[in-house]
Structure 1
Amino acid sequence: MADAAGGGRSTGVSAAPHLRADAARNRERIVEAAREALALHGTEASLDEIARRAGVGNATLYRHFPDRSALAHDVVLAVAERIADRAQDALDEEGGGCDPFDALSRFVAAAVEERIGALCPVLSGGVDEREPRLLAARLRLERLVGELFDRARRAGRLRADADVGDLLVALGQLTRPLPGTECAQLDRFLGRHLRIFLDGLRAPARSELPGRAATVEAFRQG
């Protein structure tokens, strides 16, 4: 993956770049299976279930990931890199003549598919966000989304009193299951609620938002 100032794409195996091709594919399958299982079942998702979803044996899973913390790290890294790639796609579309707000909207729809709100409660406790690869992925994502916001705002298509932190909070909230429900039940409502949110970002704004715009810095501070 490129550094925080670069625009390159992730490799898909950045956490273990020296693996053989077949081992790297197994690792990627395990990480994707873990993302799906954790989003659906939360802390109830077992490593045995993740291995089954990935189509590998338990020994293969443990050879790559000795514990849940190591696996959680790579899930967070893969999701952050993939969302950043979607932001780069949106910027490329906008550079090719796509309406800046439409490009932003397509990015948000793609980011929502990662179900980050369902993953956050499961992964937040055991992942070191200062780890260099995670930090680089996060900074790249923030930079790219900031550019999407700036372009839409300069075009007069994005309300002036919203910022990147508002979007990052919304991505979590839109994909966070309600207590007592499963993540899969969100699909019935997610498209509607996503459209409501995006319409709320459009300029001209129909109302004034309370408080201050949530910047990236404010979002980091919680």
Structure 2
Amino acid sequence: MRSDAKRNREQILDAAREIFVNEGPDAPLETVARRAGVGIATLYRRFPSREDLIRAVAAETVEALYKAVRRAREQEPDPFEALRRFMHAAVEMKIGAVLPSLFGLPVMERTIREVRDPAHPLEELLGECKAAGVLRPDAVAGDVIFMIVRLTRPLPGGRFAEDVPLAHRQLEIYLGGLRVSPGAGRRKRLPGPVIDAAWFRRLRSRMVAGRAPRDN
């Protein structure tokens, strides 16, 4: 892909991500093109249909999460600092605002099946944290991913300038709850369901299909 074509693609995806969050995936594609600073013909050359654009936004978001875990592990020798770096990067991606706007669409189930699952390298990272004795032993990958989703959901009343900085602040509070300090006493076990790999996949499939998750 030529550099200008690649740049156009990235601008369109960035614009679509923002438009889908604010207006939903049925927003006019002319609005996406205008926000991206390209013509509607350029958008259709890159993405011949709305379904193609939605799939690309979803795939790009999930793939970016996968890469963020890998990058954090490469850049930080300390496993807990790698976890911190990944979670702050995921907050910047605003996954809790992007993906829920697309859940329930038929195209999402196929898209999620085709992209790499970020939970796998994340589970490896959490295992390293636990082996180092710096992460509470009952924390699992689903706790991390769904906390990021909750932190990045838009607050009621519309977006405001402090939204993202506030999410980063609250993330640091959450990280403090995940970390085990040397010499700390035994903590009370976490309540509620354990979001292990099987539970997470079941929940994700129901979210993708637009149905409420059930325990069975």
What's the TM-score, normalizing by structure 2? Answer: 0.81
Deviations 1:19-78, CA, capped at 9 Å, x for gaps: 555333322221122123333x14285422221222210111123223332211101111
Aligned partner of residue 154 in structure 2, secondary structure:
coil
Aligned to 1:221: 202
CA contact (8 A) 1:162 1:214 kept: no
Aligned partner of residue 115 in structure 2, secondary structure:
helix
Query: Which whole-Å CA distance do the structure 1 matches of 2:194 and 2:135 have between them?
Result: 13
Query: 1:185 Cα shift?
Result: 5.0
Give the letter aligned to residue 61 of structure 2. V
Choose which of 159, 166, 170 in structure 2 pairs with 1:189. Answer: 166
CA contact (8 A) 1:174 1:194 kept: yes
Show structure 1 runs of 5+ residues with no match.
1-18
Query: Which whole-Å CA distance do the structure 2 matches of 1:32 and 1:220 have between them?
Result: 27
Aligned to 1:53: 35
Equivalences for residues 111-190 of structure 1 within 5 A: 111-126=90-105, 127-131=107-111, 134-139=112-117, 141-182=118-159, 185-190=162-167
Query: Which whole-Å CA distance do the structure 1 matches of 2:160 and 2:151 have between them?
Result: 11
State the identity as a percent.
44
Aligned to 2:10: 28
Aligned partner of residue 104 in structure 2, secondary structure:
helix
- Which has the higher mean CA deviation after the structures are superposed, 19-28 or 50-59? 19-28
Deviations 1:88-108, CA, capped at 9 Å, x for gaps: 1111124xxx21101111000
Figure out how many residues of one structure are paired with residues of the other and give that number.
197
CA contact (8 A) 1:86 1:110 kept: yes
Task: Call closer, same or farther: CA 1:42–1:164 in 2, change over 3 Å.
Answer: farther
Show structure 2 runs of 5+ residues with no match.
204-216
- Which has the higher mean CA deviation after the structures are superposed, 116-125 or 167-176? 116-125
Choose which of 83, 86, 101 in structure 1 pairs with 2:80. Answer: 101
Aligned to 1:92: 74
Deviations 1:135-193, CA, capped at 9 Å, x for gaps: 35332x12111111111111011111110011111111110113332275522421221
CA contact (8 A) 2:92 2:164 kept: no
Q: Return structure 1 stretches of 4+ with deviation > 6 angstroms.
A: none
CA contact (8 A) 1:169 1:219 kept: no
Query: Which whole-Å CA distance do the structure 1 matches of 2:163 and 2:69 have between them?
Result: 23
What's the TM-score, normalizing by structure 1? Answer: 0.79
Aligned partner of residue 44 in structure 2, secondary structure:
helix
Aligned to 1:77: 59
Aligned partner of residue 128 in structure 1, secondary structure:
helix
